[in-house]
Each structure stands twice: as C-alpha cells, then as structure tokens.
Structure 1
C-alpha cells in the first residue's frame, strides 16, 4: 500500500481516545489518592491502547477483556517469542498467504478468508489469537509509512483489519517476497518442506565445513567416506547436526551464518585446505621410498598421481561454481589458479625415478609407475621418442588453467610459471614434455606475459606469489 493510500485513511475517534490516554499517563497524580484509584487509572490506560514491541500504538478499547489480553500478548512479543520459519503464497489461490510459525503453527490470510486464520487453537470463536495480532503488527511495521505508524491504529477483534485496512491489502501492495526480505523471513517458492530442509542441511554442511577439525573439504564433510572419526571430529559433527536442526526451525540462524562465513572466507579456507593436501601428497611420495610399509601416510607414484588429479578436479569444480559477477570472484580465481600452479610446479620438479636409490626390493621399472612427471604429463626421450600413449594424454593442469582470464589472473603467479618453464626446458631431465603439452604451456605463459604491465625499461612486471 502506498504512502498516499495510507494517508487517506481516517482515524475517526481514535485520536480523541489517544489524547485522553496520554493525559492519563502524563498528568501528575492527585494530592490524595488511594492504591485502588491508582490501579484503576493504570488499568484504564492499558485497556484503551497498547504500544507494541515495534513501537506502534494500537487502540484496543473496543476489544473484549479476553481479546485485549491476546492482543497485548501478541503485540508485546519480540521476534524471539514468535518466529516465522517461512512464508509462501498458497498455490491454489495466489491472493492468499500462509505463514509457517515455530511450534508447527500455520497462519493464513487472503481474499478467501474474512479474517486471518491460525491453527494454534486460540483462534476458535472468530476472535484473533496472539499470533494474528503479532502478524498484523509485523505487516504494519514492514509496509506502513512513518506518518501511519505515528498514529494510534484501531484493531478489529477478529484481526480482519488494522485501521479499517485488511492485512491482505498490505501484502498485495508490496508483495509477500519483498515483505519477507524486509522482515528477514524466508520466502518459500514452490519447493516442498522436505526440499527446503534438505537445502538447509546442504548449506549448513558447506558453511560449517570450514571449521572442521579434520580439515575436510565441503563434499567430504557432507558425505564422509568413513564412519570412523576422531573424537574432535565426532563431537564437531554432533554440533553441526544440532545447529542444523536449529536452522531448520529458525532460518535466521542460516542467514546469520551466511553473513559471517561469506563466500570469500569460504574460498580462502577451501584453497588453504587444497594447498595443504597438495603438500601432504608430495611429502607422502617423497618419504615413501625410504619406508613404504610405514603406517604414516605414504604414497607410491600411482597413488600420489591419483590424489593430485582429484585435487585438480576439485579446484576446477569449485571455480566453475563461482559466478563471475559476484564480489570476491576475482580473488577466488587468483587463489584457484595459484593452487593449480602449485600442483604443476610440484609435478615438474619430480621428473625422475622416485625409486632410483632403492636396492633392497624390486621396484617398478616402467616410467609411468616410477616417475610422477611421466605418469601425469607424459614425455619423450631418446629412449622413448614420440610414444603415442604418452604424447596424447590430457594436458595435466593446463587444460584447467585455460578457463582463467589469462592476463588478469595468471600474471599474479608469473614468477612460479617462469620457474616451471625453466624446469620444462631442462635438457638434463629424463623426459621432455610432449609437444602438445609444451605448446599449451607456452600459449598460456606468452599470453599472460604479453598482458602484464611493463615496468620502466621494458621488462615485464613480476608479482611475487601470494
């Protein structure tokens, strides 16, 4: 409802009642008064008006004693007393609305209802319950102009009108979705309750995974492969379940967590975990030859390669899920590119037989099983020229990097890319990268370098890796 429409509504005799009540409150007490007369004066003021928790004053003089009690309970309730879990338009009647309140209470209003209906049980008999009076105050708070709120508003006993205005008209004038946004409520579309609850569980798992003591990534945290958890992890998952149930009952908890654990923070934690897993994978490979049977994390070449490929896929998927126009998306792209380049740097630095110094046991002789570089990138040498099985495999990491804005993102990591290029050009390395890989790498680095702002003197600007 527009401000102009509200301004045309009349108050009638309400203002007279309000002034009298105001005088009753502000006038000095008589010289001689008894406790009964004071009590009577106070009771009279309460009986004619009630100022709600939102600061709006309502005329309740025309309500019966029982309904006045309900009105005061509803109007004085804080948001923590009555909570809207979600609201929606009733599908079979677009001009009718449903509000789902905690404790499994539903409140409906619309063109098909003469007055709002509540399922709490106190609405029986045609007079409004505390939930209806609370809802009327919320709608006025969200939609009415300040000039309207500053007046004393007359309430109908059945909750059908506020100052002779049907509450449905207030919703129709602005839209339920917009009112829900103003009041920090959840507006439900055509999804079922079960679908909404499942989405809440997914979102809560994603948000809370950032603090997981085991360092799990969001997918791992939502779908753990093992039921064997450490004591801290088990307790943390119990906390997660507890908070998720609270968020299902009160969506404000989820919205509050989204504001605190924002996408940029989530991304920083995600890539920190990726980089940590990358370091662990390389360390587990480097330590494997000395003691392959140790219970400490150890990877042979094939296992390490699988771990690294999985990390590359996770980075690709995470970056692909981000919207390019959202705040922080450029920072996310920089962090994603950094993680991929760290992985590539570690692989090209291990272009050698990982088991070369082992003489105590039989080790793989095939380079695809003993050389991480060859296993993931392939290679050619005097002994193995242009082998089709290795020359045509996927261009490890490079295919993922092609998705990034080259000049804007990769130049932030130019120093590490330069180091990778030097290792690829090493004539003493056991294998040279396949031509297709080198072509892709040179294409990426030349484009990145070409777009880098030149320093005075003509050299390319170099930024240290963050």
Structure 2
C-alpha cells in the first residue's frame, strides 16, 4: 500500500458527502494515529498506530523516544517519494517535503505593518531583508492588482520587497478586495474559525495553524475546473465558434454562483471525467499542475476571458450591495459600491488596451477575437445598468448621481471613450463577429443618452464594422459558391465517365 500522508488525511476530512461511494472503507477512518484503543475502549499507552495503520509496541523505549515517535506519527511530515536508486551496498530514496509558509500583510498600525513570513527569525521580521517567499507573493499581488501600466519604465522596488508605486500593500489589497484578488490568484478565501484564532502575536514562527472548517467548493474554482476539463475533452477548433466551457457537462455541478453544494468524494465510479473534475475542485496541487500544462489559447489561460470574469464578479458584488446582501468583508475594505465597481471596470479596460497596444508582435486571431468579446461583454453589461445602486434604506437624494449610477459614471456623464477607443484599436476582423450585440448596445445608448462625442465615436466604429462585415460576408459567399460549383463539376464529370 502507498504511504499515507497528512495531506491525504486532510483531503479525506473533506469527503463528507456519502454520494457515490460507501463510507465503510476501513482505511477512511484515520482516527488518532498516535493511539490504539483496546477492545474495552481504553487507550493502551504502550502501543501507537502509524499513519499506515500499523501498530507498534513502545514500552521498551525511553520516555523521550516514545514522545518523539508519537509526535512523528501524530503529525507526520507531508512527503512524496520521487524515486529509488540501488547502489552497491545501500539503497537511496529521494523524496520531497511540503513545508507550509504563512505570510501576513498588515495595516500600518498592526503588528504586521511590515510584511513578514514565518520562515524569518524575529530579528529578520523586525528589520531584515524580505525572504524569497515574500518577494514571490508580493510580485504576484502586484501583477494582479495594478491597473495603471507604467509607461515610463520598470517599477521601483523598495527594500521591503514591493514596488513603491502601490504604496502600502495592505491598503492596496483592501482597495482591491481580497476575494476579488483571490480569484485571480486561483486560491480560496476562508474565514477564521473564531476570533480566538485571530489575535496578533509578535512571535509568529510556528508552521502549525488550525485548519479552516470544511466549506462549500469555491464557485470560481468550479468554473475554472470546467474550463480545464472542457479544453481537454472537447477543445474548440475555431476562435470564431468556440465550445463554451459553461456548456460542458452541466450535470457535474449546477450554476456555482447560485447553488452552493457540499464537497463530494473525489472518486465517481464509472465516470472518469467527473472524478477528474472533482479532484480539480478539491485538490490545489492537482489543479495547479493541470493549470501549468494548459495552452495560452485555452479558456482557463485566456487573459481577456479572465479579465471579463473579474468584471462579472465585480458586477455580482455590486448587485448584491444594492440588494442588501453584502459578502463577508473586513472593516478596512469598504463598500462594494458604484465607485468601487467603476474603478475595477475602468482598470480592466485599461489592462486590455495596454495588452493590445504595447506588444512586440501583432495580435493573433484568437487574441483579437477574445479581446473584442470581453470588451463587448463589458460595454453591454454597463449599458444595461443605467439605474441606481444603493443599499436598502438609503435615500437616493443623499448620494450624487455619478456615485450611484454605474452607466452614468462610465458612459453617460462625460466622454472618456469608454471601451469604444479600445474596440476601435482592434483589427476590424476581431470585433465584426460581435456586430449584432453591438447594435443592441447602440440602441440602448440612444435610449439612455450619452455625450454627443461618444455617440459619434460609437457610430463611426459601427460603420467600420459593418463595412468589414459586408466584405467578409461577400467573400464567404463567393468562396462558398466556388466550392459548390467545383463540387457540381466534379460530380458531373464523374457521371459523364
């Protein structure tokens, strides 16, 4: 039998749903690996049980040796055997160990005003250089949260491991909101088990912390797992007619954003796709391995699709804010109001613009189409939200219109070329497939009202796309006619023979 590790024990602890598999497997109950109960139900201190379920008699060992053995079995290291090597008079075993690191980034008045990692000594935490774990994490945070590309050159690194341009890292994350950031980092946000576990401590060097309670699967992870599996099982053959991941195996999970289900056991008998899907949802290592193997053209790696999904997340939070249903947040993060949502949406449009305009090579066809799809979706979503977004019991007269109406703030109040400028920068072939949806937007702009200059830009864009669409349709019809004629001639010549 393969060795049982603490990681396996953690995964088994999440398997609380009896669907599909029986829970009577004797190996599924880890119990306490450090003790073995006798038939009378009393623990025998002279026997310990290992993670592999073997029992050992330890009454001949010293007290110190027994304690070390109990600790090793009670809290086993997370090891993975890599390979074995036979030598002349010995055998070598190569293994890797998973070591957990905890990083804390605090407000200026907290104990963690200076970001710290538990790999650092107390002296290093106070005034030492940042460790490589901190540098890696801060780089990932900046990559996902900076909406203003620096046109003048590289960012300015501070001695604490983050660029000067973001200011205080804690405030930067708070303005962004942690749960929105976590989706871009492909990780989950869990709440602390209780207030007792959230007290600050200046001696934070232990690798052992309480495990978060079992919680429903992350809806964004479910979405990305479906993107990965659909790209493997039924990949798209054309960027113009992609296979939408949302349509892949809808039986695996219902809409993750409207239905929260309990975690399921990974193994789904007689259904390999469902088994892999569940493992992608439940196991971070498995998910990230698959993610690292995906192509840039796959939906889960498509940067424009990911930015579009971020806007969808922000709009869901804005809708919830207006409905009085506020997701868990800390006091430092503030409201998910129109100002917060407009900052995210404008920032996403800025990133898309920078991605298509500042590059060393021309856009590939799939990139242009994906960017146009994302921009059209964003513009359509904003135009549809020409209404007030205020929590219940807040009078509209107490909030300026531009702070309560998303459409007015981004489009209707003043011409800032929202989305239109970026769509116009794309090749016409990229945006023309979305002409019909943009025509709906054009009608809505006429109803909602917009600055005359913005309407003029939009109409000029539409005229360009219509010209391109008509040329493309004529070329396709001509090509189809030629193929049909050639086919008729070939069939006719065969009949003559």
Please give the range of the TM-score, normalised by the shorter of the 2 chains: 0.3 to 0.5
* Normalised TM-score (structure 2): 0.36
Name which one, 1 or 2, has greater alpha-carbon Rg. 1
